[in-house]
Structure 1
Amino acid sequence: MNAEDREEKETGDFSRVKDKAGGGQGTEARGKEPGEPRQTAEDTGESRRFNQETGEPHQAGKEAEGSRRTGESADGGESAGGGEGEVLTPEEQLSRAEGLAKEYYAHLQRLQAEFDNFRKRTAKEKEETVKYAAERIVTSLLPVLDNFERAVAASRTNRDFDSFAQGVGMIFRQMQAVLVKEGLTEIQAVGETFDPKLHEAVMQVDSEDHPGNTVVEELQKGYYLKDKVLRPTMVKVSR
């Protein structure tokens, strides 16, 4: 027995002896009350989550951990998106639909009224256009009419036929100018081959100066109005 053992025996301190006998576990034993069970890895659940030999988590523990995290993510997603869509009761949905229907119906009525007004206005404008289509040409011919009245009045007091004829010729050329300005042109007929689209044959004659089916004489002038035949020329045609 060495000096240290003798000192422990004399003082009655056996804690160091217990520490030596227990391989260093005496300190842990002093932290426990007598009779208190010792907590092991099985009691804390560590043995169920980790392999005691390798220290790695069990497969079941991995799956449980993954499921727990997935559930937390799903809960978080529901919490984040829960306020985005407004949930309406059937009564609220019906009320909203009725309001939209009334709004659309009122808009449709306004459009229909506007279309009816447009149709009436267009019909009236078309009627006025047809009714007064000759307004411009008649306005252009009014000066010609005035000159004819003056010529007739002058013929009552002045018996000079030559001056009267000269005045009428001037009025005629004035009227021609107005009509030409509106697109009126003569159809050429004499010497042309007969064309039923342009000529109206009222007589056939024998002619040594013209080949057959040729216009030899113009009985009444024909006219174009721009590119439309306004009136065909009345003619005599050679056999």
Structure 2
Amino acid sequence: MTEEQKNTKQEDVIETDAVDQTEVIFDEVSEEPAQPETEAPQDELTAAQEKISELEAKIDEMDNRYLRLQADFDNSRRRARLDIEAAHKYRAQNLVTDLLPALDNLERAMSVEADNDQTKTLLQGMQMIHNGLLESLKKEGVEVIEAVGKEFDPHIHQAVMQVEDPGFESNIVVEEFQKGYMLKDRVIRPSMVKVNQ
């Protein structure tokens, strides 16, 4: 074989190898599906971000609901405690309210003029009972509302009459028709009074 034929044969082998390699590369490229590389990950990223936002919104809503429930629970517990304290503080209110008419009748009976010793003795006994009742009520926190000579206060006085008396200043209680009572800081019954204009 001549030198020229050897060279030609080598060139054919090289060309054949180059064609075979090109076909292999082309086959590898053609086997992969043609998908845009940036679209799929971008769509997945957007979907993931939306899901994260949705979950964060749910967490915020649940936190708010939890905080509201906690506040409602604290408020109801505080109200229950205040109700128990008020019930304990004013436990004698019903008894005091029931005793006031009897106390008023006792005071009216004691205002009778005593004309003999028997009546005086009876009035002294009634006075002792009256004092004992007032002392017992005082131990429970009941106080008589001061009225005559005091400035009229609509929270503790009930005006049933008005007069013009030059001996008193304006808006001063002139006379008391019925005593008023307070239990601690609560008015059980306002004083029924006559007020100067």
Higher relative contact order (CA 8 A, sep 6+): 2
Query: TM-score when scaled to structure 2?
Result: 0.41
Larger-Rg structure:
1
Q: With structure 1 as the length reference, what TM-score do the two structures score? A: 0.34
